[in-house]
Structure 1
Amino acid sequence: MSDATLDKLKRRFDADAASGMREVFQFHFSDAGDHYLVVDDGNLEVHEGEHDDPSVSLSMSSETLRGVMSGEINGMNAFMTGKLKATGNVMLATKLSSLFPGS
């Protein structure tokens, strides 16, 4: 995941939407390695690597993530067509768009 993508995620993070939430989103990027987001009651931390016990794990290309975050790609469609694979608490993936609303 490029620094620009990480910066954009941090800028778009909606702390109010994350109020009371304590979850770990693990991302496995086919083209950019592993990263995880720790959402802790309105705070966001972004880390490189793999978390020991993520709430949900998502596998995709960084391009798919950009499309989902921008609204150009419907997350459910990406999941149904195999562009996005999820394990763990899959319903958490549906909250990404509210945690990182479009500009």
Structure 2
Amino acid sequence: MSEAKELIIKMCELQNSSEDIKKELAGWSGVVQYRLGDEEFYVVYREDGSCEFGEGVHDSPNFTVIASPEYWVSVLKGQEDPIMGFMMQKYRIEGNIMEAQRLAGILKKFAGKL
């Protein structure tokens, strides 16, 4: 298991265990698919602010993040800005780009916690 996958699992666990984080992230639901190197997995975000990690490919993700695991670790740790990285083509998004902007907000909630 890559470090990127471990961090995303940890991020979801932190989100589910923190009422403050759930409250901040409540109101948006969607599925973020990840294709990081050879690994594919997804996170389902629920309206109540909780999330669920899943293995494999989701049937209908809102968008897919395609990146190297190493680069995505730097994003998850707050060392890289996901918006600037996208503009500099360090990773790609397939699907709804507008919804993908929500991910940047979600990631900022975890800066320094992973």
Q: Which residue of 2 aligns with 1:39?
A: 45
Counterparts of 2:51 and 2:80, CA distance in 1: 24
Q: Which residue of 2 aligns with 1:20?
A: 27
How far is 1:89 from its partner? 1.5
Give the gaps of 5 or more residues in structure 1: none
Give the gaps of 5 or more residues in structure 2: 16-20
Which of 4, 7, 11 is equivalent to 1:9?
A: 11
What's the RMSD between the two structures over aligned residues? Answer: 2.0
Give TM-score scaled by structure 1 length: 0.82
How far is 1:11 from its partner? 4.2
* Paired residue secondary structure (1:10): helix
Structure 1 residues 43 and 96, CA, compared in 2 at 3 Å: closer, same or farther?
A: same
Which of 50, 58, 74 is equivalent to 2:65?
A: 58
**More helix, by proportion:** 2
Counterparts of 2:102 and 2:39, CA distance in 1: 22
* Percentage of identical aligned residues: 25
Query: Is 1:69 the equivalent of 2:76?
Result: yes
Equivalent pairs, count: 102
Give TM-score scaled by structure 2 length: 0.75
Query: Is 1:90 the equivalent of 2:97?
Result: yes
